[in-house]
Copies of this chain bind each other. A is one copy, B any other.
Amino acid sequence: MKTQAAQVITPEDLLQHWQGHRALTRRVIEIFPEKDFFEFSIGGMRPFSKLADELLAIAAPAMKGIVNREVQPYNEEGREKLIFKAQYLQKWDEATAEINKYWQQLSIEDFNETFNLFGQYEFPIIQNILYFIDNEVHHRGQAYVYLRALGIEPPFFWER
C-alpha cells in the first residue's frame, strides 16, 4: 500500500458534493417544459434530453465499472430510450441510489489508483470522478442558457 499523502476532502464530502450537483441538475430537468426538454437547442447543440442521456450513461455505469474494475465501453445508444421527462427523473433517482451504493464500495486507496474508464480514459479514479462532476456542471450551464432563452428562470446555482 502506498503512503497516503495529506489530502483535502473526505470521500463522504466528495459524494455529498456530487449528489448536491446531481440534485440541482434534477431540478433543471424538472423545470424544462416537456417539449423543449427534447427539442429546444441553440447553435446546433444537443437538446438537454440528449445531454441528460450522456450524464446518465456516465454516472452510475462509470461507478459500477470503477468499483468492479470492469472496463466496459461507453454506451449511450444501447440504453433504454426515454421519451418522457418523468422517465428521466426516475432514471436519475435510480442512478442516485446506485452511485451511493457503489461509492460505499470504494476504499480510500482506490481514489489514487488508475482505471481505464470506458476503455478510453486511463486516469486516477479521483480524476475520473472530478471529470464526471465538471462535465455535469458544464452541460447544466448550457441548460441554464436554454432556459433563459425560453424565458424561464433557472434554479439558483448554489441550491443543492
- Pick out which of these stretches binds chain B: A6-14, A58-66, A81-89: A6-14
Does A102 sit at the interface, judged by CB under 8 A? no
Copies assembled: 2
- Please state if B145 and A45 are interface contacts (CB–CB under 8 Å): yes
Residues 24-51 of chain A: 1 if any B CB is under 8 Å from the residue's CB, otherwise 0? Answer: 0000000000000000001111000000
A135 at the interface (CB under 8 A from B): yes
Stretch at the interface among A67-75, A90-98, A136-144: A136-144
Inter-subunit contact B111/A9 (CB<8 Å): yes
Task: Write the A140-160 contact mask toward B (1 if CB under 8 angstroms, else 0).
Answer: 111011111111000001100
Interface string of A109-138 (1 = CB under 8 A from B): 001100000000000001100110111011
List, in ascending order, chain B residues with CB within 8 A of A22's CB: none
